[in-house]
């Protein structure tokens, strides 16, 4: 004998529940039906709690099982339908263009530096990296700068204290290398140097240089010129003309300066070349015998040449860039072009 629900009620409950199950057309809806008919406060659960006899218990439990089966079945049907819908409607279009991934690129100063390194490695030179904080001894004295040379002043050079400074050129590397090993020597040293120069189209207070030194028996000025032409061909191909002017440096004798034809105006004259058609790339010369004596190399037995050139300057000439400033501003719109 049923207590709170009559057999008729059970039948009605089942009919109502099955109709609700059949009518549910979404996961939310079927969940709502489950709560309504099988939840803790559902008519069926309350009746089961009040059951006093076996017959009623069996009838209500059978109803519960039938409803659970019906609800689970409908839920699975709905899940399958949703999956089918996704598979047919949310199609992945493999022909759509992919998302572009931006790769970083090398800085133009680094690219130019690597060209120089490769050119000298190919000639059998040793490539070195040297200190940026130098002493007056290595930056000036050992390179035979006279005591009153303007570069020794605070107006030209960044001093840290009376004996230490930010190197003004890569030439002290020559001294370190010659003090450290016996000739023959073939080395190139690349890195940052610092000067109190007023910025303009081709000058900045911080810039890079590459320094070369060759010490051997019977080295001549023609070897220096040939070596400079070799690296300039690596940097500029046959695009640019090259000329050598005589000049003065305390640590070379004779001294020359290589100039490169202006890539901006093609030698017609512009602001970058100061209307001369030529741009100075560096300084060079035959090693001053006094420098050999300073480092304990016999100038009667050994001769040598040295050169030092601006790396940003070389990059400006290579890519036709009329200003040095962008090399230090690191504007991504500029750097992405390399
Ligand atoms: C020197 O620095 C010598 N040490 C070069 C040298 C080495 C001569 C070995 C003989 C033997 P100079 O001051 O001219 O020379 O500078 C060399 C090059 O560095 C210049 O031609 C230019 O390309 C670059 N440079 C000089 N000053 C600046 C600057 N403020 N900004 C950018 N590049 C510069």
Cβ of residue 259 lying under 6 Å from some atom of ligand 1:
no
Q: pLDDT tens digits, residue range 27-61?
A: 899 999 999 999 999 988 888 888 888 888 888 89
Mutate to test the pocket of ligand 1, among 283, 309, 318, 323 (most ligand atoms within 8 A of CB): 283
Q: pLDDT tens digits, residue range 247-286?
A: 999 999 999 999 999 999 999 999 999 999 999 999 999 9
Give the integer Cα–Cα distance in Å for 195 and 203. 10
1 pLDDT more than 50? no
pLDDT bucket at 325, cuts 50 / 70 / 90: very high
Domain spans, the chain: 7-89, 108-335
SS3 84: helix
Mean pLDDT of the chain: 94
What pLDDT is stored for residue 3 in this prediction? 53
Give the integer Cα–Cα distance in Å for 318 and 262. 10
What pLDDT is stored for residue 56 in this prediction? 84
Distances (CA, A) of 231 to 113, 238, 253: 11, 12, 22
Mutate to test the pocket of ligand 1, among 210, 287, 313 (most ligand atoms within 8 A of CB): 313
Sign of CA dihedral 26, 30, 36, 40: negative
Phi and psi at 72, nearest 5°, equal: -60, -45
Using the mean position of ligand 1's atoms as its centre, give its distance from the Cα of residue 193 in Å.
9
Mutate to test the pocket of ligand 1, among 276, 287, 308 (most ligand atoms within 8 A of CB): 308
Q: Which CATH architecture has domain 108-335?
A: 2-Layer Sandwich (3.30)
Q: pLDDT tens digits, residue range 154-172?
A: 999 999 999 999 999 999 9
Supply the pTM of this predicted model: 0.74
Give the integer Cα–Cα distance in Å for 279 and 262. 6
Residues 6 or more apart whose Cβ sits within 8 Å of residue 205: 194, 195, 196, 197, 199
Using the mean position of ligand 1's atoms as its centre, give its distance from the Cα of residue 289 in Å.
21
């Amino acid at each position: 004998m049923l207590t709170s629900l009559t057999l008729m009620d059970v039948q009605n409950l089942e009919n109502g529940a099955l109709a609700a199950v059949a009518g549910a057309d979404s996961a939310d809806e079927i969940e709502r039906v489950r709560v309504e008919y099988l939840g803790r406060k559902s008519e069926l659960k309350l009746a089961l709690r009040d059951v006093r006899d076996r017959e009623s218990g069996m009838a209500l439990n059978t109803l519960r099982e039938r409803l659970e089966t019906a609800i689970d079945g409908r839920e699975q049907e709905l899940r399958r339908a949703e999956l089918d819908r996704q598979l047919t409607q949310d199609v992945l279009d493999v022909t759509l263009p992919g998302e572009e991934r931006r790769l970083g690129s090398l800085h133009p100063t680094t690219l130019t530096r690597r060209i120089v390194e490769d050119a000298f490695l190919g000639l059998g030179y040793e490539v070195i990296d040297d200190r940026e904080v130098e002493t007056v001894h290595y930056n000036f004295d050992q390179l035979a700068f006279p005591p009153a040379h303007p570069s020794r002043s605070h107006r030209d050079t960044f001093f840290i204290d009376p004996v230490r400074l930010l190197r003004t050129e890569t030439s002290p590397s020559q001294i370190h290398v010659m003090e450290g090993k016996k000739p023959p020597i073939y080395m190139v040293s690349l890195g940052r140097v610092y000067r109190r120069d007023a910025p303009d189209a081709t000058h900045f207070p911080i810039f890079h240089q590459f320094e070369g030194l060759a010490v051997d028996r019977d080295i001549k000025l023609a070897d220096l010129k040939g070596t400079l032409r070799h690296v300039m061909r690596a940097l500029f191909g046959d695009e640019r003309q090259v000329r050598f002017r005589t000049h003065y440096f305390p640590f070379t004798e004779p001294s020359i300066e290589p100039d490169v034809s202006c890539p901006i105006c093609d030698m017609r004259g512009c602001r970058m070349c100061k209307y001369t058609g030529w741009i100075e790339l560096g300084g060079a010369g035959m090693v001053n015998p006094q420098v050999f004596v300073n480092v304990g190399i016999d100038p009667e037995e050994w001769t040598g040449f040295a050169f030092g050139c601006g790396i940003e300057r070389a990059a400006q000439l290579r890519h036709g860039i009329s200003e040095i400033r962008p090399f230090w501003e690191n504007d991504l719109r500029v750097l992405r072009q390399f």
